Structure 1
Amino acid sequence: MNLDDPSSILIGVGGGQPQRLILSRANRHGLIAGATGTGKTVTLQGLAEELSRAGVPVFVADVKGDLAGIAMAGSPTAKSHEAFTTRAAELGIDDYAYADNAAVLWDLYGEQGHPVRTTISDMGPLLLARLMNLNETQEGVLNIAFRVADEQGLLLLDLADLQALLVHCAENSTALSAKYGNVTKPSVGAIQRQLLQLESQGGELFFGEPALDINDLLALDDQGRGTINILAADKLMASPRLYATFLLWLLSELFEELPEVGDLPKPKLVFFFDEAHLLFDEAPKALLEAVEQVVRLIRSKGVGIYFVTQNPIDIPEEIAGQLGNRIQHALRAFTPKDQRAIKAAAETFRINPKLDVATAITELRVGEALVSLLQEDGAPSPVERTMIRPPRSRLGPLSAKERAILRSISPVGDKYDMPADRDSAEELLAARGAEAAAAAAALQARAAEEKAAAERAKIEARAQIEAQREQARLERERRANPPLAEQLTRQLGKTVQRQIVNKVAGSLVRGLLGGLFKGRF
């Protein structure tokens, strides 16, 4: 196999033969391991840039801040210049020359690269529960909250949305408990406290919109080179749980979004998990099973995953067994754990009768590694002691000015640099609360008005009764003590009445007596 084979990339030379990663087998995953200072970063950088030159996009986390130099060409004035040019000559790389790479800078905090965001809904309750270290009961409440959001059409985009949803669940805990199971205010409160802690770690920057479009990680530049997506993770390492959860979320998104393609001539994307032990430390069994499933199945989506770690025993056996391409740098046998790691690493390689692997692991020089790669038939090659090819790009960090220039010419800067804020759960629940408050206020005002009207009617009725009573009283008093004019009128009336009565009576008497006397005489 010659050095210019376009179906593979050169890793190094060992056993007198080129050690090449066949691109059609690059999606079978891999491991880069070795103690600090043995050359893992240089190997990772060289592998990433060769994949890019072959048209394969790459995603890698820059945990120490020195991998971003891959965007810039190396320099003859660099300390590594003599060592790299000498090594290239020893390996027979006649066309070795410094070159830059198509790189896009990302940063969860939006400081050293384009912001990387996802939504609460996309993250899902499982990863959020792990991120917040919730117990089983609290995770159950979180699942119920997500169910409520789905049923009520509430978008969960950022932490404020989730906080508003949890408040809503606490206020309606009785009804929710009757429908879904026990939802207690203490459990809701515990989740809210964890959210505040997550927010203090920068979670409010990670959750929101515009969310990362996976397709933007799969882009090629105008020269056909795969984009090298570099995540600034030096600050992120201070929050290892957030770092691990983000990487697992990204893998899950790739798995869900990409179609099944089987084995392609070259991968759609190669994903490097640097400081891989952070993903597995204290991880619950359910999460390890999820990682194992993603690693096992994502191969068929055309994605290769390469774990980079100091100690190969950091990788769980169920996952390590799926890593077909292996590059093992030196390990030190200082402790019993180191000795177990050496033995475990030696046992994972296909035996080479000419090489004592366990001894060689402790003798490897910087830039040298034990390499076993998958062959055309899918079987691993016999392990060989290999000198790793030098990278063409700069070793070391970027300056702030260089980062600013790369961000300004990035093809995705306009898409991600400015945050968006759609109406979501927080706004919808606030609107519902405002409507409910307005309705309650209107009902209360109507009730108050009706009460006031009833009170006025009562007062008017009482006043009418009092007026009638007063009128009756006055009438009684008037009758008992009539005015002088009325008394005179009454007296005069009585006198006249008596006179009339007397006159009539006299006439009657006279008439009667006259009739009697006339009859007698």
Structure 2
Amino acid sequence: MADLYIGKKFNAADKSLGDRFFLDSGDLTTHGIVIGMTGSGKTGFSIGIIEELLKAKVPVIVIDPKGDMGNLALAFDRLAPEQFEPWIDRDEAAREGKSVGDMAKAAAETWAKGLHDWGIEAPDVAAYAAGRRIRMYTPGATAGIPINLIDSLAAPGMDFEQNEEELRDEIDSIVTALLGLVKIAADPVSSREYIYLFSLIENAWRNNQDLDLHSLIAQVANPPIQKVGALAVDAFYPQKDRDGLMFALNNLVASPPFEVWRQGQPIDIESWVRSADGRPQLSIVYTAHLEDEQRIFVTALILNKLKTWMRKQPGTSELRLLFYMDEIFGYFPPSANPPTKKPLLTLLKQARAYGVGILLSTQNPVDLDYKGLGNMGFWAIGRLQTTQDQNRVKQGIEAALADAASDISFETLIGGVQKRVFLVHDIHRKKPELVNSRFAMSYLRGPLTRDEIRGLGEGISGTAAEKQALTSAASPAAHAGGTARTSTPAPAMSPALPSPLRAKYLDLRGGNMAEAYVVVKTAARYKAGGVASDEVKRTLAFRLAPDMALGELLDQEPIEVDDDRLSGELPAGLMFGDLPGFAAASDGAKVIERALRDRLDDRLTAELIFDPVTRKFSNLGEDEAAFAARLGGSAGVSAKRTALDTKIAKLERDIATKREEVKGRKFEKWLSVLTAILSNLNVFTGSSKRVKTTGMGSVLTKNRMENTAENRREALEAQLKELRAQREELDAPETSRFERRTIKPTKTDVSIIRYDIAWVY
């Protein structure tokens, strides 16, 4: 542990200075608060502590909402006037009637003498300046190193189940801060926006998937989760309501002033703490230029990243890092719960075990939650504005005096407080002391502007590459052990679409740049001469050019799409073109649907084949041979074929019967002839001269019957031949009878089954 020279003991009775006052660096692991009204010297007192820590090679992270802490970069190794001159207030010099050079010379002399009086010389300042490294971060601006907040939702790289309470606290702060940026109240119980965003981030982190604001916005529209609590997503938060949140977040990201928030480096506590050359690093996050909601957002993200980084460190009793915030008003109030409060309270309760100290500053102790004050072992109390402020700290100081058996009252001690004099209460010391803070090695010239931050040089305010770096180019953050993060990127998401449109993906060209198309599945009937076709289903795609007007959508020829090739799974590495304004708007789906219903019938004109025999239309794109074959296999033709088969079978049976009948008639006829011959046998032998006519009538009758049976058989065979011809015609219709007709369906004959946006690549 190091002894930090922060001042000298002060005697209130004669206003004399006593021995040097040293603070053990390890005492700051129990955290601290510096309290004092404007002009009390609390900024100088805090800067002195930070200077001593950097000399002791303890890194420091500073949140600077006022702009004063940039003065830590103004430690001049020679204490020469020309080093002070760029930082002289020209307006002040003019008011005093002095030149800038004279003012610089006076400042140099004041600093040299002031430091000398406290036992610090120019070589000491030079050694201090050379031994530390300073980096200035300016979220939302490029004066210093921008912070890329788009990449600040990365998975923490910790087991969610084992760290559920802590990580849920982190998500709570992130969601509350994010909703604050878009002016939406974030209530953990009643706010659907809060609960929904919380669920999306938790789902990603549980699966160790990184998010950024772009992918989070896409998930708002197309959630990867099915339920929120016990309800389906659409029941809990209907799509049309989700669109409002989606567009609010998208407007934030798309707004030109927010563009700079996409530049720079992601929040990476490891790189803020450890410089590449091993020097202790002071990382100052300048937020003086931001609005209140933006400051809260940035600070909450940093606090949560710090908390996550801290839990990856091994335990220690030494001070590993100090986190300092200059002016805590509004970030840790007694009653309200801004997203900075919970992580700050967690750090105050747990950071000691990891060697992380928290030092806060405020003008009024009533601005601080009493739980936080109770977790602080180091108090530095300067001049206070009100009796209420004094009463807030009085109880703690009186308890410390009682423990030390001191006969000095709180009123006496607080009465001795004046500019740069602080009542110091350290639980590691026997009793409170009055301490006059030492002269700061840094030139305390007041708050820095963004232009002045640029003037600090690339070593502090960042190189051009650091200012312009984007998330995609940022290297993965490393954890304390030096290995790369193991979290995986969140699933790629296509641009958000207005409800109820869903993204589909179609590989036509095998590229990686996707263009948007409206894909519509239709069903239409074509009518001509009182005959209607079967329902014809088609899937058509109309290109959505970025600069297209709505009226142009259906002027173009669509492409025919195979429904089976449309996928709901986004391919990796796909980039996306822009949507036209009418399609990206919140009512884009309704606008597209109206256009389809008004003009889709114009794009469905088709040439069909008509069969006048069966009075059937072909399918779209069906040729004559296929149509003929299909007609042969249609249900109506099949019924006719079955009926013909039945008739043919019956005729074949009847003909077989008639053939047998003809045979029988022939036999009977010849039998009658034989009988007649036998009856006249004696005529042939000469025994009788008279011919008998017995049996001749029967022969004639039998012959007539035979002829009749033969005629009937021939008639049946003729019928059979005709039926068989009809049967063959059903199996293979003659295509020469087909007619080609060009038909446009009416609007009433066109149905829209579904429509979506397909990204064609």
Instruction: Kindly report which structure 2 residues correspond to 1:366-405, keeping only aligned pairs within 5 A, or say none.
Output: 366-374=419-427, 379-396=428-445, 403-404=453-454
**What's 2:610 paired with?**
460
Q: Within 5 Å, give how 1:283-362 maps onto structure 2.
A: 283-284=336-337, 288-333=341-386, 337-341=388-392, 343=394, 346-347=397-398, 349-350=400-401, 353=406, 355-362=408-415
Identity, % of aligned positions: 21
- Equivalent position of 1:161 in the other structure: 215
Residues 344, 215 of structure 1: alpha-carbon distance in 2 compared, 3 angstrom cutoff? same
Which residue of the other structure, out of 106, 110, 122, is the alignment partner of 2:154? 122
3-state SS of paired residue (1:278): coil
Residue of structure 2 in register with 1:235 after alignment? 289
CA distance in 2: counterparts of 1:27 and 1:171, whole angstroms: 42
**One-letter code of the match for 2:459?**
I
Coordinate RMSD, CA, aligned: 4.3
> What is the CA-CA distance between 1:418 and the residue it aligns to?
1.4
How many residues align? The count is: 448
| Structure 1 pair 303–170 and aligned structure 2 pair: CA distance change class (3 A) | closer
Corresponding residue to 1:47 among 46, 49, 52: 49
Q: Relative to structure 1, is the Cα distance of residues 92 and 191 closer, same or farther in structure 2, using a 3 angstrom cutoff? A: same
Q: Cα distance, 1:300 vs. partner?
A: 2.1
Out of 107, 110, 126, the residue aligned to residue 138 of structure 2 is: 107
User: Distance in 2 between the 1:130 and 1:175 partners?
Assistant: 19
Distance across 1 between alignment mates of 2:294 and 2:272: 20
Partner of 1:472: none
Supply the distance in 1 between the matched residues of 2:28 and 2:228 (Cα, whole angstroms): 54
What SS class does the counterpart of residue 440 from structure 2 fall into? coil
| Partner SS, residue 236 of structure 2 | coil
Alignment partner of 2:200 out of 145, 149, 174:
145
Structure 2 gap ranges (5+): 11-17, 82-103, 156-169, 180-184, 474-488, 507-515, 522-537, 541-559, 564-600, 617-761
**1:38 aligned counterpart, secondary structure:** coil
Q: Which AA in structure 1 matches 2:539?
A: Q
- What TM-score, normalized to structure 1? 0.71
8 Å CA contact retained: 1:331, 1:362: no
State the distance in 2 between where 1:204 and 1:411 align.
19
**Displacement of 1:408:** 2.3
Deviations 1:427-465 (A, max 9, x none): 44569825177694586146999x9999755x4213886
**Which of 363-372 and 301-310 deviates more?**
363-372
Whole-angstrom CA distance in 2 between matches of 1:69 and 1:284: 31
Q: Distance in 2 between matches of 1:327 and 1:244?
A: 25
C-alpha distance in structure 1 between counterparts of 2:110 and 2:430, whole Å: 28
Report the alpha carbon displacement of residue 359 of structure 1 after superposing the two structures with TM.
Answer: 4.2
1:383 positional shift: 0.9
> How far apart, in 2, do the equivalents of 1:286 and 1:220 lie?
29
C-alpha distance in 2, partners of 1:175/1:337? 46
- In the TM superposition, residue 144 of structure 1 has moved relative to its aligned partner by 3.0
Measure, in 1, the Cα distance between the counterparts of 2:269 and 2:228.
Answer: 40
Matched, 1:261 2:302: no
Q: 1:152 to 1:32 in 2, by over 3 A?
A: closer
Higher relative contact order (CA 8 A, sep 6+): 1
How far apart, CA to CA, are the structure 2 residues paired with 1:155 and 1:271?
26
Answering whether residue 309 of structure 2 is matched by residue 246 of structure 1, we say no
Q: Which residue of 2 aligns with 1:490?
A: none
Q: Partner amino acid for 2:421?
A: E
* Correspondence for 1:271 among 320, 323, 341: 323
SS in 2 for 1:12: strand
Q: Which structure dedicates a bigger proportion of its chain to helix?
A: 1
**Deviation sequence 1:300-335 (CA, Å, 0-9, x none):** 2221110111112322122212211221111123xx
- 2:422 is paired with a residue whose SS is strand
Note if contact 2:139-2:298 (Cα within 8 Å) is conserved in structure 1. Answer: no
- The 3 A distance-change label for structure 1 pair 203 and 371 is farther
More strand as a share of residues: 2
Moved more, 303-312 or 22-31: 22-31
Change (3 A) 1:386 1:125: closer
Look up the SS of the partner of 1:392 in the other structure. coil
CA distance in 2, matches of 1:91, 1:242: 40
State the Cα distance separating 1:278 from its structure 2 match.
2.1
What code does the residue aligned with 1:18 have? Answer: R
Instruction: Tell me, in whole angstroms, the C-alpha distance in 2 between the residues paired with 1:389 and 1:438.
Output: 70
Q: Cα offset for 1:51?
A: 0.9
Matches within 5 A, 1:47-196: 47-74=49-76, 75=79, 77=104, 88=115, 91-93=118-120, 98-99=125-126, 100=129, 102-118=133-149, 119=151, 121-122=153-154, 125-131=171-177, 132=179, 133-135=185-187, 136=189, 137-138=191-192, 139-146=194-201, 155-158=210-213, 160-169=214-223, 177-178=231-232, 182-185=236-239, 188-189=242-243, 191-192=245-246, 195=249
Retained in 1: the 8 A contact 2:173–2:342? no
Q: CA deviation at 1:206?
A: 3.9
> Counterpart of 1:55 in 2: which secondary structure?
coil
* Letter matched to residue 9 of structure 1: L
Determine the structure 2 residue equivalent to 1:215.
270
**How far apart are 1:7 and its partner, in Å?**
2.1
* Pair 196,21 (structure 1): closer, same or farther in 2 beyond 3 Å: farther
Q: Does 1:409 align with 2:463?
A: no
1:368 CA drift (Å) = 1.1
Deviation at 1:10? 0.7
| Structure 2 CA distance for aligned equivalents of residues 148 and 380 of structure 1 | 48
AA aligned opposite 1:337: Q
AA partner of residue 285 (structure 2):
L
Give, in angstroms, the shift of residue 122 of structure 1: 3.5
The Cα offsets for residues 351-382 of structure 1, whole Å up to 9 and x where unpaired, read as: 562543334335422111111335xxxx3441
In structure 1, C-alpha distance between the alignment counterparts of 2:47 and 2:120, rounded to whole Å: 17
Letter in 2 for 1:126: D
1:170 and 1:185 in contact (8 A); partners too: no
Aligned residue number for residue 747 of structure 2: none
Which runs of structure 2 are paired with 1:397-476 in the superposition (5 Å)? 403-404=453-454, 406-409=456-459, 413=463, 414=465, 417-421=468-472, 427-428=493-494, 433-435=503-505, 440-441=519-520, 444-445=539-540, 456-457=607-608, 459-462=609-612
For structure 1, which runs of at least 5 residues remain unmatched after alignment? 1-5, 467-521
Residue 387 of structure 1 deviates from its aligned partner by 0.8
CA distance in 2, matches of 1:152, 1:430: 22
TM-score if structure 2 supplies the norm length? 0.51
149-158 vs 208-217, greater mean Cα deviation: 149-158
2:330 maps to a residue whose letter is L
What CA distance in whole angstroms lies between the structure 1 residues aligned with 2:435 and 2:118? 10
Q: For the structure 1 residues 462 and 212, does the alpha-carbon distance in structure 2 shift closer, same or farther, using more than 3 Å as the test?
A: same
- In the alignment, the residues of structure 2 paired with residue 407 and residue 81 of structure 1 have an alpha-carbon distance, to the nearest angstrom, of 21
CA contact (8 A) 1:104 1:227 kept: yes
> For 1:94-130, what per-residue CA distance to the aligned partner results, in whole angstroms no more than 9, with x for missing partners?
7785444521111101322111124353396412332
Structure-2 residue corresponding to 1:489? none
Structure-2 residue corresponding to 1:497: none
Q: Secondary structure at the match of 1:394?
A: coil
* Alpha-carbon distance between aligned partners in 1 of 2:66 and 2:105, rounded to the nearest angstrom: 19
